[in-house]
Amino acid sequence: MEQEIRKKTFRGAKIEDVILELDKLSSLCQEKSKSSDQLERHISMKEWLLLIQLLQ
């Protein structure tokens, strides 16, 4: 009985750890995605400025 409880607790703890790690990974991916979007906008702005200079 006690060993069965330990197994369930161990599996439950493992699943909880995996969920926490996936949550952290998801948050990190969202942050990187936002950073990437900002970088793309920054590059686009540079390209626009270069285009305006070329057209003058």
Query: What's the whole-model pTM score?
Result: 0.49
Residue 20 tokens read as 């926490």
CA dihedral 50, 52, 54, 56 (to 10 degrees): -150
Q: pLDDT band for position 55 (50/70/90)? A: confident
- Taking residues 26-38, what's their average pLDDT? 81
pLDDT tens figures, 7-24? 666 666 778 888 888 889
DSSP string, the chain: -HHHHHHHHHHHHHHHHHHHHHHHHHHHHHHHHHHHHHHHHHHHHHHHHHHHHHH-
Residue 14: what are its φ and ψ, rounded to 5°?
A: -60, -45
Of the two residues 1 and 45, the one the predictor is more confident about is: 45
Q: pLDDT band for position 34 (50/70/90)? A: confident
Of the two residues 2 and 48, the one the predictor is more confident about is: 48
